[in-house]
Structure 1
Amino acid sequence: MLSTRALSATRQLARATSSAGAGAVRCKHTVPDLDYDYNELEPVISAKIMQLHHDKHHAAYVAGLNVAEEKMRAAQKANDLAGQVALQPALRFNAGGHVNHTIFWKNLIGEKNGGGQLAECALKSAIEQKYGSLAKLSAQVNAKTATIMGSGWGWLTFDPAKGSLDIITTANQDMAAGVGHVPLLGIDAWEHAYYLDYNNVKADYFKNIWRVINWKDVSQRYDAAVAKHRAAN
């Protein structure tokens, strides 16, 4: 059964991607457009991987989420509690796949457009204070992500409980929000994210992906998380 935090994250996704207003007709989830062409991240990530990852893998999570939510609404209407419980794993998996990839696409940008460059900002100061440098942070994220057994994600997050940055991993398509963290930067450790380019040498993928990180996006996520934390405390 889903944890309270995981259920909350799934419900937040549903609210954020549905029509606003009381009585509005619910919209189905869709795959977001990329802010760049498939080949912009080369040679770090090939256009072939980007097309398959975005058009096929992400699209499959979106389709699965729409089907699971439709079945859930039917189960709720029928007051079928057993059916609702049985649908929770599909909702969790597909919602996570949609949310995680939506963040991932925004976290990336080509080197010619600023990929890998972290300007002076609050996030950079926080990274240097806690980890010493961006290079040391990336090494810690890569080391922790490499310990994932099977598929999953490595995350740089903001932990509201600590009021600071943290590095975590999640299995499969579990969301960072499911364990109470605010996702800032996600590294997709599923084989479909790198295998065509790096084969079984995923360590090279983890190393190279930092060249195409969109630190402007990550920084904006950090600023928003900190502002929300301060407002709540």
Structure 2
Amino acid sequence: MELELQTTAGDSVTPTAIIPRLPLWIKVITLTSCTLSILGSALIIGTFFAWKDIRTASRRLLVILSFTDFWTAVALFYGVYTDFMDSTVDCIVQSIVSTFMGTSSFFWTVSIAIYLYITIVKTDTQLAGSLTKNFHVVSWGVPLVVVGCAAGLQKLGYDKSQVSVGWCWVKLTTPDNLLWMLLTGKLWEILAYFILPALYIAMKRHIYAQMRQSSALITYSGT
């Protein structure tokens, strides 16, 4: 815990604010989680470039997602390790990188789900492949616009670790901080929570129906 002190005219020292530091156990757990994310993402990216046989379209999308996760974890690791106490330059840069990559990660996760849905349920690999360019435009473009506006309006920076685990995100001093928290991550995260299960259930039902149909055909042909 750190105590911010202010010197008055009479040379007396008066405490003005108490700014809590992150507990060590929280830092250790968070840094460990970030490290595992970095290693896992690096492994996926490394294997993609190491073996040509696995360089499929779906795996390419997974590599892009891993790229965003890698830099998100790196930025969050730096933020937690540094344990910022003010909106310094590196705090703002960390917020920009983690917010952009984190938001992009949600878009790429949904994009992969849509790609798999079209490939599995609609069985239209050509359509799925043609959507790749759109995935790039949306998954990079929307986060770029949102984070660019947030950074330009000076909404990103030190959040006193009240809405994060040590890293910088949206400044709590801004009156519309809740709006920017939604735009820079939470809104897309909530939407993903609805879209992803819906697509998963649709694919699961389709696969189950295909299995039942195949089983019925085998049973019929055997009689």
Greater C-alpha radius of gyration: 2
* Greater RCO structure (CA 8 Å; 6+ sep): 1
TM-score, length basis structure 2: 0.36
Higher-helix-fraction structure: 2
Tell me the TM-score normalized by structure 1. Answer: 0.35
